[in-house]
């Protein structure tokens, strides 16, 4: 693990040497002799804690602290003000400048080391949290780009969604049947239930065959890759929707393009070749996937879609 770093800001060489002696066994130590150098080294070295003397030869320590706290790169670095001034006014000035702690010189080194240890631990926790949030923001942005790209590549057949969006759609549909998918014989039950519902709703037999094939692919892969899940049959807005959900590892985000549109591609956590079959035979496929599980919704209209007319094409592509 990378050692934590402390920046000592003091123009007194003896003080710097004493602080180094007590801190270097545990920390990487950087030093600066004046305020301008301190601001530059704080930006370049990214220390976990800054020990900042109040009386510096160029800029007063309070002002250095104020400048550090005003800049994005250094505002979260804990600052401990060190001063020989033992008065409430100086402490108030330090805290108003943004200092995180205030110690009187000469420092009691065991006490100072505990302060540094606690503040550096707090800084690392903040950094870790910010990194997690940064990665989440990047991934969310990438998911939007991926969603739009996959939707375009599949001609509007594949829709990536958040789980909340999937749940909102489900809440508006009427449930016709539901069953667990745990063992191979459950796949047969899922096929039969889907076929019965489709025929009862008037879907023609050729399209029912396509639907049953897709249900078989999705249910089989759920058992194979997620050790089972649930299948629900629902109706809404002139279509039949087959919901297949699990609590498995999900589809690796980086492999989503291959997993969904590349025929023959397969990973342990993907639907592989089966997904391209779903996109070929279903009217629309909804997908929600993350490390908590996957939901695939297979939609088939109750009546076969009509061929687009010239007016339909002109409305979709006005530039023609």
- Which tokens go with 149? 């790209």
Q: Domain extents for the chain?
A: 5-128, 154-301
- Angle, helices 61-70 vs 88-96, to 10°: value is 20
Q: pLDDT (tens digit, 9 = 90+) per residue, 101-141?
A: 888 888 788 889 999 999 999 999 998 999 999 988 888 88
% residues pLDDT > 90 (the chain): 51
Residue 28: the pLDDT is: 94
Among 142, 177, 140, 178, residue whose Cα is nearest residue 162: 140
- CA 95, 98, 104, 107 torsion-angle sign: positive
Q: pLDDT (tens digit, 9 = 90+) per residue, 39-68?
A: 999 999 999 999 999 989 999 899 999 999
Q: pLDDT (tens digit, 9 = 90+) per residue, 178-234?
A: 999 999 999 999 999 999 999 999 999 999 999 999 999 899 888 888 888 999 999
Strand partners, 241: 234, 299
Query: Are 246 and 228 in contact, with CB atoms under 8 Å apart?
Result: yes
Q: 154-301 maps to which CATH number?
A: 3.30.565.10
Q: What is the C-alpha to C-alpha distance for residues 127 and 46, in angstroms, rounded to an integer?
A: 11
- Averaged over 247-254, what is the pLDDT? 81
The answer to whether residue 269 scores a pLDDT higher than 50 is no
Query: Are 31 and 42 in contact, with CB atoms under 8 Å apart?
Result: no
> Residue written as tokens 């889907």?
194
Please state the CATH superfamily assignment of the domain spanning residues 5-128 in this structure.
Response regulator (3.40.50.2300)
Q: Fold identical between 5-128 and 154-301?
A: no
Q: Look at the pTM and tell me if it is higher than 0.75.
A: no
The answer to whether residue 3 scores a pLDDT higher than 90 is no
- Model confidence at 95, pLDDT cuts 50, 70, 90, reads confident
């Amino acid at each position: 693990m990378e050692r934590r770093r402390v920046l000592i800001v003091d123009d007194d060489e003896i003080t710097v040497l004493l602080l180094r002696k007590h801190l270097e066994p545990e920390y990487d130590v950087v030093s600066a002799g004046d305020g301008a150098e301190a601001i530059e080294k704080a930006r370049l070295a990214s220390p976990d804690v800054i020990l900042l003397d109040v009386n510096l030869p160029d800029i007063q320590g309070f002002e250095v602290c104020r400048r550090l706290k005003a800049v994005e790169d250094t505002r979260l670095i804990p600052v401990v003000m060190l001063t020989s001034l033992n008065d409430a006014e100086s402490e108030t000035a330090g805290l108003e400048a943004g200092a995180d702690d205030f110690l009187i010189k000469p420092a009691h080194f065991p006490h100072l080391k505990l302060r540094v240890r606690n503040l550096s631990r707090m800084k690392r926790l903040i950094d870790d949290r910010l990194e997690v949030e940064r990665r989440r923001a990047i991934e969310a942005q990438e998911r939007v780009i991926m969603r739009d790209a996959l939707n375009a590549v599949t001609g509007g057949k594949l829709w990536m969604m958040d789980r909340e969006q999937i749940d909102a759609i489900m809440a508006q549909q009427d449930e016709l049947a539901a069953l667990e998918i745990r063992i191979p014989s459950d796949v047969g039950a899922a096929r039969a239930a889907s076929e019965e519902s489709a025929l009862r709703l008037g879907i023609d037999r050729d399209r029912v065959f396509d639907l049953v094939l897709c249900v078989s692919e999705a249910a089989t892969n759920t058992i194979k890759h997620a050790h089972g899940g649930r299948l629900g049959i629902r109706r809404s807005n002139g279509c039949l929707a087959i919901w297949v959900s699990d609590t498995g590892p999900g589809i690796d985000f980086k492999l989503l393009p291959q997993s969904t549109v590349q025929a023959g591609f397969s990973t342990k956590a993907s639907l592989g070749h089966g997904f391209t079959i779903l996109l070929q035979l279903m009217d629309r496929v909804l997908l929600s996937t993350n490390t908590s599980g996957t939901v695939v919704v297979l939609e088939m209209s109750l009546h076969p879609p009509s061929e687009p007319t010239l007016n339909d094409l002109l409305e979709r592509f006005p530039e023609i």
